[in-house]
Amino acid sequence: RHFANGSQLDVIGLAVERLEKPTIAAVNGIARGAGCDMALMCDIRIAAQSATFAWSYVNFNLIAGDGGTYYLPRIIGMPRALELFWTGRTVGATEADRIGLVNQVVADAELPAAVTALATRIAAQPQAAIEFYRRAAYQGQTQDLYSHLDMISSHMASVR
């Protein structure tokens, strides 16, 4: 399915959302625009120390069309997201970690090993529980507390 802008990333974003498995973005170097949006689609983001992020569409009188306006406010909060959208300012890895944009910052040379170690640790856990946690966490963002607790209680035994 394509949206008004015809972007392939909109299809990718929907596909990533429907995945049952965890996704980890390894951000190395410069992430701009759609590259930032692709990282935001992932459940976890690990950045190399040299990584930088910017939603610089505003500099060209454009609007982010690949999910950035959906994901970024949910991850770092509305005021920070709007500041980044409105200014196009570049965010370094240290600031990205401080504002919750990334989960972890590692030395550039350590990025592949850090991502592999985290993926291996997650993969060693019971997969039914991992998949349910992912689904429950995302569904919980749009449910009221009663509905969420009802869903959780009806599935607790199935992941034991």
* CA–CA distance, 154 with 111 (Å, rounded to integer): 39
Percent helix, strand, coil in the chain, to 5, is 60, 10, 30
**Spatial contact of 35 and 51, defined as CB atoms under 8 Å apart:** no
Residue-wise pLDDT tens digits, 93-138: 999 999 999 999 999 999 999 999 999 999 999 999 999 888 888 8
Tell me what pLDDT residue 28 has.
96
pTM to 2 decimals? 0.85
Q: What is the DSSP letter of 66?
A: S
